[in-house]
Amino acid sequence: MKCFQNNVAATAKHFPGHGNADTDSHTGIPIINRSAADWHAIDHQPPFAADIAAGIDSIMTAHLEVPSLDPSGDPATLSAPIMTGILRNQMHYDGVVVTDALNMAGVRTKYGDDRVPVLAIKAGVDQLLMPPLFDLAYNSVLKAVHSGEISVARIEQSDLRILRLKLKDRVLTQPFVNEKAVSQLVGTPQHLAAAQAVTDRGITLVKNDDHVLPLAKSAKVLVTGWDNGVTIPTTALASDLTSAGITATALPTGAVPTAASVSAAVAAAQQNDVTILLTRSSAAVLGASQQTLAAQLIATGKPVVVVAVQNAFDIAYIPTARNYLTSYYTVRCR
C-alpha cells in the first residue's frame, strides 16, 4: 500500500507563463507582450521560482510567443533562449520539462509536425506530449540523432532526468501496485469530500440580475442544454435538484442543438418558472447553435440561468444573459 504514497509527480505549467493571453493556444498562438521586467515580476518570481525552490517534479511548456524573452517568433516550447537560457541556466532548473500537447495549433503554426519534436528537444525539453503523428515524431527525432543535429549526449540528458524522477517516485523499484487495495486508497470518502469542497468553492456566480439564485423550493425548473451523448449533465443536475426538494425536469439538447431541439426547449421553458441552460464551448468558441438556443430561451422573458460547464468565457457569446454561473467542469449539485 505504501507504493501509492508520495509517488505522484507534480507539474508546474505553463512556462514561461500563460497569463495575459488573448488567444487559445489550442487554436492559435498567443503573443504575450509583457516587458522582460514585468515577466520577471509577474510570471517568474511568484509561481515558477517558488515551484523550483520547493522542488517541483516537472514543468510544462507554453505554446506562446514572448517577444521580450525571445524575439525570434518561436513559441516558448521550441525556444532555446527560454527553455535553456532562462529555465535551465538562469533559474537553474534541472528537472523534467514536458511540452504541452503537440497537437495544439499554437506549436504548429510555424513548423511542420516533423520539425516540432526535434526543435523542442533542441530547445531543452525532455518529454514530447501527444504529437499528432507519433511515428513521424519518433522517426524525425531518430533521424536528427543519426544526422548529428541532436547529439546522443543531449538525449542522455533527458533520459537521466526522466529516470531520476522515476527513481524518486519508485516507479523503477516498485512498479506494481496491490490491485486489491485500490478501492481503499483511490476515490475514498475523504477524497470525494475534498473534491466536492474544491468544486463547491470554485463555482463562480458572475451575474444574478433576476435574483433567482439560490433557487426557491417552490420553483419549477427546466434544466436544458449541452450534453455529449455520453455524460448527460442536464439529467444529473435535474436529479440532484429534485433530491434537494426542487421540482426539476431535464431536456438535453446535445452538443449541437437542432432547430427542433431549440423549439422544444423554448416551449418547455415557457411552462417552467426558471430555466437552467448548460453551455460548453468547443475550444474557445461557443457554437452558433448553442448561442441560438440561449438567445431564444432568454427571449421568452422567463428567467434563464446560464451555466458554463467548462469554459468560463462562454458569457462572451451570450451578451443578453442576466444570470450567469460558471462551474469550470461538468456540473453536479448536492
Q: Based on the domain organization, do 198 and 162 belong to the same domain? A: no
Residue 177 lies in a domain: no
Q: Based on the domain organization, do 122 and 213 belong to the same domain? A: no
Q: Based on the domain organization, do 25 and 100 belong to the same domain? A: yes
Exposed e or buried b for every residue in 71-100, given b needs 16+ CB within 10 A? Answer: eeebbbbbbbbbbbbbbbeebebebbbbbb
Domain end position, chosen among 117, 139, 168: 168
Q: Based on the domain organization, do 147 and 203 belong to the same domain? A: no
91-146 pLDDT, tens digit per residue, is 999 999 999 999 999 999 899 999 999 999 999 999 999 999 999 999 999 999 99
Q: Based on the domain organization, do 250 and 286 belong to the same domain? A: yes
Q: Based on the domain organization, do 253 and 164 belong to the same domain? A: no
Q: Based on the domain organization, do 212 and 147 belong to the same domain? A: no
**Cα-Cα-Cα-Cα dihedral sign, residues 84, 86, 90, 94:** negative
Q: Look up residue 45 and give its DSSP letter.
A: I
Residue 271 lies in a domain: yes
Residue 58 lies in a domain: yes
Q: What's the pLDDT score for residue 3?
A: 39
Domain end position, chosen among 136, 168, 200: 168
Residue 69 lies in a domain: yes
Owning domain of residue 23: 2-168
Q: Based on the domain organization, do 42 and 163 belong to the same domain? A: yes
* Known catalytic membership, residue 135: no
- Taking the C-alpha atoms of residue 290 and residue 281, their distance in angstroms, rounded to an integer, is 9
Q: Based on the domain organization, do 198 and 131 belong to the same domain? A: no
Residue 40 lies in a domain: yes
Contacts of 72 (CB under 8 A, 6+ apart): 79, 81
Q: What's the pLDDT score for residue 330?
A: 61
Q: Based on the domain organization, do 123 and 246 belong to the same domain? A: no
How distant is the alpha carbon of residue 292 from its chain centre?
26
User: Is residue 327 within 8 Å of residue 309, measured between CB atoms?
Assistant: yes
Q: Based on the domain organization, do 136 and 203 belong to the same domain? A: no
Residue 332 lies in a domain: no
Q: What's the pLDDT score for residue 181?
A: 87
Residue 65 lies in a domain: yes
176-185 pLDDT, tens digit per residue, is 878 888 888 8
Q: Based on the domain organization, do 68 and 155 belong to the same domain? A: yes
Residues of the chain with pLDDT below 70 are 1-6, 282-284, 330-334
Q: Which of 100, 126, 227, 314 is catalytic?
A: 100
pTM (2 d.p.): 0.69
Domain count, the chain: 2
- Taking the C-alpha atoms of residue 242 and residue 221, their distance in angstroms, rounded to an integer, is 10
Domain end position, chosen among 168, 200, 217: 168
Read off the CATH number of the domain in which 97 is found. 3.20.20.300
Residue 204 lies in a domain: yes
Read off the CATH number of the domain in which 320 is found. 3.40.50.1700
